[in-house]
Structure 1
C-alpha cells in the first residue's frame, strides 16, 4: 500500500499542536502566522487551515483585534473534568488489578516513577507530564473494559485542551505524586482488595486537582494583593 505524503496543512497542524500540548506556546499566547510561515517554510494558507482545525478542537481561540491565541486555562472546566477523571481512573485501576499485573509490569511502573523523579530534578515539566501519563497507561493495559479506557483517554485529550502538559506542574505536588505512585505500586504488588486500590487511585487524582486549585488561589492572591 502506497504511503500518502504528509500535506502542508497536516505538517503545520502537527507542529502547532505539539507545541501547544508540550507547553512551548503558553495559554493566551498569540499565534503569529507570519512567524510560522518562516519556521515551516510554507505559505499562510495551510497554516490558517491548521489554525481553524485547532480552533475546532478547542486548543486555539480566535479573538477580535488580536487573532488566534492559545486557549487560556479554564479553571472551572479543569476542576470538573479532573473530578470525573478521578472516579474513572480509580475504577479502571482497580479493574486492572483484577487481571494479574505481572512482576515485569510492576518493574516498568517503578522505572517510570524513577524517571519522573529525574524529571523533577531537571525541572523538565513536559517530560514529567508525559511520563506520568505513560505510568497510568501501563496499568490500563490490563483493564478489560475498553470503553472505560477510551473514555479516560478522551478526557485526557480534553484536559490537554484546557491546560498544557506541565502547566499545572508544582514541584511539591510532583514529589507527593511520586510517593502516591509508590504506594499504588505496593498495593498492586500485594494484590490489595478492589476498594482499597480504587480509593488510592481516585484520591491520587483528586490530590492533583486540589493542589492545582491551591496554586491557582495563591497566584490570584499575588495578583490582587
Structure 2
C-alpha cells in the first residue's frame, strides 16, 4: 500500500514537474489538483504530496485563494542556483578526473569546436545545448550518482529561465569556449585536484558575474 502510494506521488511529481520545465505550465498558472489526480489515477493525497515536493524544489508556491501556482524564477533564485551549481560542478569535475578516458577527452574537444563554430555563426540554441552536453560528458564519469542528480535538477531549473529568453549573454559565449579549452587541458594533464576544482567552480561563477554586469548595464 505504501509502495503504491509512493508510485502515485512520484508519477504526479514527474507529470507536473515535466510540464513546468517544458513550458506547458507557465509562471503564475494554477495547478488543478482534481485534474492531475484524474490523469494519474489517484486520490488528491499523492498529488498534494507531489506539490509539496515541488515547493521544496522552488518550482511551485502556495498562494492564498489561488492554491498551488507555478513559481517564476526571480533574479535571487537564479543567482543562488548558479552559486550552488558552481560548488556542485567543481566537485563533480574533480571526482570525474580519475575515470575520464581519452575518448571522453576527444568528445569534449569535438563538442567545444562545434560550440566555437556556433559562436561565430551566432547560433544561440546550439551554443546552449553544446555547453550543457560538454559538462554532462564530464559528469558521466563521476561515480557519485546522487551528486549528478542534484546537478541535473539545478540545470533543469535554469533551463526554464533560458527558455523564456530571460537570461542569455552572447558576449559571454566566446569566453566560455576559451574556459572549456582550459578545462580540457587541466583534465588531460591530470593537474592538481584543487586547481581543477577551483577553475571549474570559477567557470560557472563567471556566468553569474556576467549576469550581474548585465543587470548593472555594464555589458
- TM-score clears 0.5: yes
- Contact 2:20–2:70 at 8 Å: present in 1 too? yes
When structure 1 is superposed on structure 2, of 161-170 and 81-90 the one drifting more is 161-170
How much has 1:166 moved relative to structure 2? 2.3
**In 2 relative to 1, CA 13–142 (structure 1 residues): closer, same or farther, beyond 3 Å?**
closer
- Contact 2:93–2:138 at 8 Å: present in 1 too? yes
How much has 1:165 moved relative to structure 2? 5.6
How much has 1:143 moved relative to structure 2? 4.1
Q: How many residues align?
A: 205
Paired residue for 1:213? 212
Paired residue for 1:154? 150
- Contact 1:58–1:71 at 8 Å: present in 2 too? yes
**TM-score normalised by the chain length of structure 2:** 0.65
When structure 1 is superposed on structure 2, of 79-88 and 41-50 the one drifting more is 41-50
- Contact 2:115–2:126 at 8 Å: present in 1 too? no
CA distance in 2, matches of 1:122, 1:159: 17
CA distance in 1, matches of 2:40, 2:195: 54
Say which SS state the counterpart of residue 16 (structure 1) adopts: helix
- Contact 1:22–1:165 at 8 Å: present in 2 too? no
CA distance in 2, matches of 1:151, 1:171: 27
**Larger RCO, structures 1/2 (Cα 8 Å, 6+ apart):** 1
How much has 1:71 moved relative to structure 2? 1.6
From 152, 156, 160, the counterpart of 1:164:
160
- Contact 1:86–1:202 at 8 Å: present in 2 too? yes
CA offsets per residue over residues 5-48 of structure 1, 9 Å max, x none?
xx88765543331232244544x3313639x77xx698995995
- Contact 1:113–1:178 at 8 Å: present in 2 too? yes
Q: Which consecutive unaligned segments of at least 5 residues does structure 1 have?
A: 219-225
- Contact 2:94–2:197 at 8 Å: present in 1 too? yes
Runs (4 or more) in structure 1 with deviation over 6 Å come to 40-44
1:126-205 equivalences in 2 (<5 Å): 128=129, 131-143=130-142, 146=144, 150-151=146-147, 153-154=149-150, 156-158=152-154, 160-161=156-157, 164=160, 166=162, 169-172=167-170, 173-205=172-204
When structure 1 is superposed on structure 2, of 54-63 and 149-158 the one drifting more is 149-158
How much has 1:214 moved relative to structure 2? 3.0
